[in-house]
Structure 1
Amino acid sequence: MLIEWLSIKSVSRFSMVGVLAIALVLSSPNIAKAESREQAVDQLTDFLFYRVNPQLNNRKLQAGDREYSNQWRRLREAIDPRVKSVQEVCFRPAPEETGWEFTTINGETYEQTYDLLADTIFYSRHPQRTGQPIPKSDRIGISEWSAIRREMYISNCGL
């Protein structure tokens, strides 16, 4: 009886690990496989939005989620011009490589881009502060912005 219970427990653990691994693979932010550019922008926006709002547990936004909806919309507006075709962005892509990649625009660095995305989230949460830098004395604001910024990273061109 004990041996039977241990083998069931082992199988259950193995099954859970397998299910979790499959879920992680399926939920990973692979915008290159999106069918259209608009879908790629939406997928990347969702990925970053839910990273900086883990309390939502990836739940779909509801009509009453105005602040979150506004935050998502602003983030999408910032991401939209930065999603371009793999052929346009990646250094020496293979001819069969298709899809979409996140990139910089107007000569900005990736660091500046991620800072801008963090600003987008921070100032959509605090619209009364828009256009004002966070004062060095505002430890709470700096901490919140830094936490947002830590989540702003996307791998590009398979790197």
Structure 2
Amino acid sequence: MKSVSKFSAVCVLALALAIAGTNLASAGSRDLESRTQAVDRFTDWFFYKVNPQLGGRKLRSDDSSAYIREWNAIRSTVDREMIATPGDCVGDAYWDFDYRSHGRSLDRIADTIWGIRDPSGDKTRADISKQEWKKLRNSIIREHFCY
């Protein structure tokens, strides 16, 4: 009788660990951010850095079409530049930019915003424009952060 109870106890314990492991794995996968969520999060971050007057509020349908065009243009560029990068833990990954070319990604985002705000697209047309572009580019510098 003792060997059957030990065997039963081991089976129950193994089953409980298997169920707990499945629940932990599925909970972890729910916490991972999808690529679309990451693109939207970064887009919001860049958009509100260059539009602080909005105070971080979500855009509404009655907002200026310029804001909506700008957000969509930033999103398109962020979507092209975003890659999966390895996280700190084995098997962990998150969405970000390639830090070897991070500056070029931010330049492209600044160029996108500049192109929407200055349709001539000529960021070098005058010294004042160079300074405005640099100010815009500096406003979107971001520190490395992950969620």
Partner residue of 1:62 out of 60, 63, 66: 60
Partner residue of 2:107 out of 108, 115, 122: 115
Aligned to 2:27: none
Q: Is 1:74 equivalent to 2:64 in the alignment?
A: no
**Aligned-partner Cα distance in 1 for 2:141–2:78:** 12
Partner residue of 1:42 out of 13, 30, 40: 40
Unaligned runs of 5+ in 2: 1-30
Amino acid in the other structure paired with 2:41: Q
State how 1:9-158 maps to structure 2 within 5 Å.
35-64=33-62, 65-87=64-86, 93-103=88-98, 109-127=101-119, 129-130=120-121, 132-137=122-127, 139=128, 141-156=129-144
Paired residues, number: 115
Say if 1:102 and 1:156, in contact at 8 Å, map to a contact too. no
TM-score between the two structures when normalised by the length of structure 2: 0.66
The structural deviation recorded for 1:78 is: 0.6
Unaligned runs of 5+ in 1: 1-32
Give the greater-gyration-radius structure (CA).
Answer: 2
* CA spacing shift, 1:54–1:66, aligned 2, 3 Å: same
Aligned to 1:3: none
**Aligned-partner Cα distance in 2 for 1:121–1:84:** 21
- Over the aligned positions, Cα root-mean-square deviation in angstroms equals 2.4
TM-score between the two structures when normalised by the length of structure 1: 0.62
Which runs of at least 4 in structure 1 moved beyond 4 Å after TM superposition? Answer: none
Q: Which structure exhibits the higher relative contact order, with contacts defined as CA atoms closer than 8 Å and separated by 6 or more residues?
A: 1
